Amino acid sequence: EVQVVESGGGLVEPGRSLRVSCTASGFTFDDYAMSWFRQAPGKGLEWIGFIRSKTYGGTAEYAASVRGRFSISKDDSKRIAYLQMNSLKTEDTAMYYCTRNGPYGGNSRADYWGQGTLVTVSS
Amino acid sequence: DIQMTQSPSSLSASVGDRVTITCRTSQGISRYLNWYQQKPGKAPKLLIYGVSSLQSGVPSRFSGSGSGTDFTLTISSLQPEDFATYYCQQTSNTPWTFGQGTNVEIK
Provide the pLDDT confidence category of residue B101 given band limits of 50, 70 and 90: very high
Nearest-by-Cβ selection for B87 from A44, A61, A64: A44
Contact B91 A115 (CB under 8 A): no
User: What amino acid occupies position A65?
Assistant: S
Collect all residues from A whose CB is shorter than 8 A from any CB in B: 37, 44-47, 61, 63-64, 97, 106-111, 113-116
In terms of DSSP bridges, do strands A94-101 and A33-39 run parallel, antiparallel, or are they unpaired? antiparallel
Contact B44 A113 (CB under 8 A): yes
Residue A65 DSSP SS3: coil
Q: How distant is the Cα of B20 from the closest Cα of chain A, in angstroms?
A: 20
Rounded CA separation B89/B99 (Å): 6
What pLDDT is recorded for position B106?
87
Q: How distant is the Cα of B58 from the closest Cα of chain A, in angstroms?
A: 12
Contact A111 B32 (CB under 8 A): no
pLDDT-flagged residues of chain A (< 50): none
In tens, the pLDDT along A65-100 reads 999 999 999 999 999 999 999 999 999 999 999 999
Contacts of A64 in chain B (CB under 8 A): 95
Interface test with A, best of B33, B49, B85, B94 (most A CBs within 10 A): B94
In tens, the pLDDT along B15-52 reads 999 999 999 999 999 999 999 999 999 999 999 999 99
Sign of CA dihedral A27, B37, B93, A99: negative
What pLDDT is recorded for position A99?
98
Q: How distant is the Cα of A119 from the closest Cα of chain B, in angstroms?
A: 15
In tens, the pLDDT along B59-93 reads 999 999 999 999 999 999 999 999 999 999 999 99
A22, A74, B57 from A27: Cα distances, Å? 14, 15, 17
